[in-house]
Amino acid sequence: MNKIHIMVLSLLLLAAPALASTGFFTGVDDLPLMPGMTEKRDETVVFDNPSGRIVETAATSDAPQSQILNFYAQSLPPLGWQRMSSSSYSRADEILTIQIATDGAVHFSISPKG
């Protein structure tokens, strides 16, 4: 095995636990689903229009709000999202907003900027 093969294998082994522990929302392949969250698949709407995509999706969680926001603060930047506030992110021409209700519902909205 040459050095490149060893390096690639090492990177895959290091990344495997992170990839295994986090899934993504159905139909929204760039929005991670926090471990322990249950996706509400019947509430997902994805619509593409000339100014960009519009996505509405939701999940439920028993985790405290701070834990949910911390998960997304850690997991979204590697996917290219830049934090604007504790519950909103920006990437290219899109805005992602996270709303957490007191009943454990977590709503995610992606919309074009502007």
Whole-angstrom distance, CA of residue 6 vs CA of residue 41? 40
Is residue 111 scored above 80 in pLDDT? yes
Residue 57 parent element (H or E) = strand 52-60
Domain ranges across the chain: 23-112
pTM higher than the cut 0.75: yes
* C-beta pairs of 90-97 under 8 Å, 24+ apart in sequence: 93/52, 94/52, 94/53, 96/31
Alpha carbon of residue 81 to chain centroid = 9
Among residues 76, 74, 64, which one has the least CA distance to residue 31?
76
Averaged pLDDT, 37-47? 94
